[in-house]
Structure 1
């Protein structure tokens, strides 16, 4: 081997050692950085001239594990949104037996009625009936408002998710282009690949994503169900529009909307293409879960209304007269039951605060006067009507005979059961995500292995440096001759 060749070999070895040391340092420094993939230097022997050639820096990524991680993130995003909704509903409705629950407000009202029935001449007791009845109506109103608030939040969440997906897809398309340019120039594009992975992970929590490798370091993105999100230089664009506030009775098409894809409306059947993440969960809350809760509240409010509007309970009422509870001042009907829980109110004729008279509670809402003051028949009939086991209203979510208390308790029980089931489901999903994340971390940077590689580079550096020292000594010997 000539001296020149020895120097060339040693210099190429030192260059590779320096680059390898930089790679190890980067790996150790970013061991906990999200989206960072371990780097490895690729070298090969130079066929002409000897020495080693640096072929590039590669990212070491377990593609199948990364794909599973993204699917798990989508699943957790879906479960988190639904569990949060059910927790908020349980907080508003309350648990059976709790003082602030709907059934607690009903119990207070029934107790006040029973007390007034024993002393119909006592205006303090009659005032307590008005107070507890108003509180019960307010609780139903508040619950309905919370349900529609959840629908509105879901509507806004959809808009936010769509904006995030669109911005992220545009960023991935840009990074694809930059990575392709760097790849063609033979430059290191791994930092941009790390960023791209983080951006795709952001999309994955909203829509389940499948990543497919393309030429020149590019990637194509598809939803898990097959919708094309990015395959080429121009990303797909999701569209969504609608008012921020949603009210009871609004459904898809009247006037709520679904997504559009590249300007084309997505049908209800095609929405499965975007199922599995937080976007789908927000649609489910807006269009299914919250309307179901609203329907149950409306059924309770209608049952309460119908029990007390019966002429057998209050003979002073005519066929068109409102009972103790009204639908915004009017008599509720089966045709107007949607949203009733948000409109139900105490009849103003018995509320002194609204110009009414307390004596109408004992004499009848449409009675001419309050005499005699000791009559308790109507108050007792009101108590019995609430306690009676009656058939469920046609079209309601209740079945068979039941008391009003039983039906309130049934709804509270359903809400609690849904919350427990949603949280149990979220726990399973989160556990799976945690397990996959741990496996992904294990596949990433191993600090012990990196230190071993650093020692190998140190030995390589020493060996190549020794060659240069030996060459230097040889040259000096020759020059001294």
Structure 2
């Protein structure tokens, strides 16, 4: 009986060492695999009838720190949010143009001022008047293009929201399916750690879209909840709803009902931002960009266009105009309506009276839009008045700081640049924090030096158990020879 027990103990040891070798080799093979958690073989002393019966393999366990994992996922969400915002602001800055760059808003204003100054120095020159008319068109065209590009960015952002919602729904369905697979594998005694690794990778993807905390449920299932308390998954995967628009105009906003917010299983999220307690990841950044940042930039462009139109409707800018007449710049050919400025950036146009192609005449730049006929070709007073309209200090919005048109253009571009720099700083901080947490997570992951040391210990233990088997075999042979 004693020899039999010794053989049983040694064989169980060999079996356990073989399993441990499998676990260590898996750790080494996946040392650089994302989502892989270090494995350890759980062992226990085995006894039968109160007597030692070798070693028992309880199973394979994943080793990770849930606290660090949760914090790292939240850091992923924050970094994803700031990265999306920074990229969006860079695209806006490209649309508006940085101050001083050719073709930017500030550059167009400066070139118009220069053209008016040159024309005033030689008002009889048709070529200089033609340059003024050209610069007027370039300024209006730049504002038009900027407004159209902002709406194109809003449309693209709306499409990004739809894409991220699709990705979120797909990932939630995958977590639901993996939850079921893990529970079934556990119930029949199979190793489910590989499925858990897959689930961790999927939840990591979700965390970049929406910040989540993982809650362990019975059967090794996980539930997902946002830091704000919105249960995102606890059993069947919910359906996150969103409706992508087919076109975008400035009048379309979330508040007006023209744009979609999110819904969960058909129930709309009623929060003003359309995302509510799901805020925090790249999805939240897309909503903020579509409904706040880009809307504000459009409003700034509309205010700039309204200020530009209003400057040239003043009697000081053109004494030949009668009240209600449009000036050099118009709202699609009409005078400014202070109550209808939404989308004005796209409707801004140059008065057709100074456009020879549209039946107008260049001399009206020198003599006034309302002049019945040409005046003295050497009179520069109207050209100087037009230039004066550009440099007159007026507020962009009621209660705002008065400035010249160039000052307002510079304020718009510098404001966007400042927001972009601020967002880059926030992104850098979030990136540093996320990197720190990833390093902390990796420190608790697979250590190849430790695994190699473990492999040497397994080799020694395996050799020792094999020696026991060999010794028992020799003892039995001695008995058989008696």
TM-score, normalising length: structure 1: 0.96
SS at match of 1:335: coil
Q: In the alignment, what sits opposite 1:173?
A: 176
Q: In the alignment, what sits opposite 2:293?
A: 289
Q: Deviations over 1:446-472 (max 9, x none)?
A: 111111111111011101110111122
Aligned-pair CA distance for 1:83: 0.9
Q: In the alignment, what sits opposite 1:302?
A: 306
Aligned-pair CA distance for 1:245: 3.2
SS at match of 2:60: strand
SS at match of 1:330: coil
Measure, in 2, the Cα distance between the counterparts of 1:200 and 1:392.
47
Q: Is the 8 A contact 2:303 2:396 kept in 1?
A: no
Measure, in 2, the Cα distance between the counterparts of 1:92 and 1:244.
22
Q: Is the 8 A contact 1:155 1:244 kept in 2?
A: no
Measure, in 2, the Cα distance between the counterparts of 1:106 and 1:76.
38
Aligned-pair CA distance for 1:211: 0.5
Equivalent of 1:245 in 247, 250, 256: 247
Q: Is the 8 A contact 1:328 1:344 kept in 2?
A: yes
* Count of matched residue pairs: 477
Measure, in 1, the Cα distance between the counterparts of 2:166 and 2:357.
49
Pairwise CA RMSD of aligned residues? 1.6
Measure, in 1, the Cα distance between the counterparts of 2:118 and 2:227.
62
Q: In the alignment, what sits opposite 1:478?
A: 479
Measure, in 2, the Cα distance between the counterparts of 1:393 and 1:69.
44
Gap change, CA 1:392 and 1:197, over 3 Å in 2 = closer
Equivalent of 1:118 in 121, 124, 135: 121
Q: In the alignment, what sits opposite 2:13?
A: 13
Q: In the alignment, what sits opposite 1:63?
A: 66
Q: Is the 8 A contact 1:118 1:376 kept in 2?
A: yes
Measure, in 2, the Cα distance between the counterparts of 1:393 and 1:57.
67
SS at match of 2:339: helix
1:230-241 mapped onto 2 (5 Å cutoff): 230-232=233-235, 234-241=236-243
Q: Is the 8 A contact 2:42 2:59 kept in 1?
A: yes
Measure, in 1, the Cα distance between the counterparts of 2:336 and 2:155.
26
SS at match of 2:232: strand
Aligned-pair CA distance for 1:254: 3.0
Equivalent of 2:84 in 77, 81, 85: 81
Q: In the alignment, what sits opposite 2:166?
A: 163
Gaps of 5+ in 1: none
Query: Comparing 345-354 with 328-337, which one deviates more in the overlay?
Result: 345-354
Aligned-pair CA distance for 1:96: 2.7
1:143-154 mapped onto 2 (5 Å cutoff): 143-154=146-157
1:200 matches 2:238: no
Q: Is the 8 A contact 1:228 1:236 kept in 2?
A: no
Measure, in 1, the Cα distance between the counterparts of 2:104 and 2:382.
27
Aligned-pair CA distance for 1:275: 1.0
Aligned-pair CA distance for 1:391: 4.4
Aligned-pair CA distance for 1:414: 1.1
Measure, in 1, the Cα distance between the counterparts of 2:188 and 2:426.
49
Equivalent of 2:263 in 260, 264, 280: 260
Q: Is the 8 A contact 1:35 1:198 kept in 2?
A: yes
Q: In the alignment, what sits opposite 2:435?
A: 434
